[in-house]
Amino acid sequence: MTMPALHAENLVKRYGALVATDHVSLTVLPGEIHALIGPNGAGKSTLIHLLSGTAPADGGTLSIAGRDITHASLHHRVAAGLSRSYQVTNIFQQSTVFENLLLAVQAHAGSSFCFWRAGRDDSVLTQAARQLAMDCTIEPALWALPAGTLSHGEQRKVEFALALAGHPKVLLLDEPMAGMGPDETLRMTALIASMRGRVAMLLVEHDMDAVFRLADRISVLVYGRMIATGTPDEIRASAAVREAYLGDEWIDEVPDA
């Protein structure tokens, strides 16, 4: 069997008496787009925190590409291949778009590269930043602008690019379409789709049109418990999912994959 890109087993997170994550297991395969859906307060963001290491788990295990990172620091998780797309606050607003990308590429290239850069030409890094911008469909006309002057949708793209700079194995995306208009949502959907096969993505998203268009597989979390994992067709057909979350009327409106 293929080695999973991410494998979580029996993750538990308690907030006092509340079990926000109740023995959750999840497998994300290499290169797949795996959506995590569920009602408000289901524990989706909590699970993202446990995976990225921004909140400690009370139990369970986690591995990236077969490497156990259950107790690893944020830094070691990133080194193991885990990346998380933060909100736009992760962007240096005053710096240009290109400087932001260059910094991210440089940071992942390691200290040896920084040393090189001090006295030598940095064309390799510049080229990598340029490639990243093009891969993420950031228009060249925007590269020299201060990142803070870009539209919300364009800033989310830059932020997505920053998360990809280190060539992660797994990218965690918590509501990448939040606050976007219809056109921006479509562009972000296309960008995420273009990365299919290159990086495994765990996508938390409330926009069900986007989820059912994008996802190779979907996991459904309700009250801290994972109630189903399957292909979009399987999730659409699941009686348990209809009952606990999506409902009959709604599911008939979900676009075919």
Q: Where are the alpha helices (DSSP H) in 53-145?
A: 74-80, 97-109, 111-119, 123-135
Name the residue nearer to ligand ATP (CB basis): 27 or 45: 45
Residue type, 18: L
Give the interface segment with ligand ATP, choosing from 13-21, 25-33, 131-139, 246-254 (CB under 6 A): 13-21
171 binds, among ligand ATP, Mg ion, none (CB under 5 to 8 A by kind): none
DSSP 180-203: --HHHHHHHHHHHHHTTTTSEEEE
Asked if 45 interacts with Mg ion (CB under 5 A), we say yes
Nearest to 203 by CA among 45, 74, 91: 45
Radius of gyration in angstroms for the set of CA atoms belonging to the chain, rounded to a whole number = 19
Residue of closest CB approach to Mg ion: 45
Per CB under 6 A, does 238 bind ligand ATP? no
Round to whole Å and give the CA distance between 125 and 109: 8
Q: Does 40 bind ligand ATP (CB under 6 A)?
A: yes
Distance CA 68, CA 13 (A): 18
Instruction: Give the nearer residue to ligand ATP in terms of CB position, either 162 or 220.
Output: 220
In terms of Cβ atoms closer than 10 Å to its own Cβ (0-12, 13-18, 19+), residue 71 is exposed
Residues 17-36 binding ligand ATP (CB under 6 A) are: 18, 20
Q: Is residue 201 within 8 Å of residue 34, measured between CB atoms? A: yes
Site stretch for ligand ATP (CB under 6 A), options 39-47, 59-67, 182-190, 242-250: 39-47
Q: Which of residues 25-44 bind Mg ion (CB under 5 A)?
A: 44
In this chain, which of 42, 133, 218, 244 binds ligand ATP, going by CB under 6 A? 42
Is 45 near ligand ATP (CB under 6 A)? Answer: yes
Closest CB 45 distance from Mg ion, rounded Å: 3
Number of residues that bind ligand ATP (CB under 6 A): 11
Please tell me the distance from the alpha carbon of residue 211 to that of residue 230, in angstroms, as a whole number: 13
Contacting residues toward ligand ATP, per CB under 6 A: 15, 18, 20, 38, 40-46
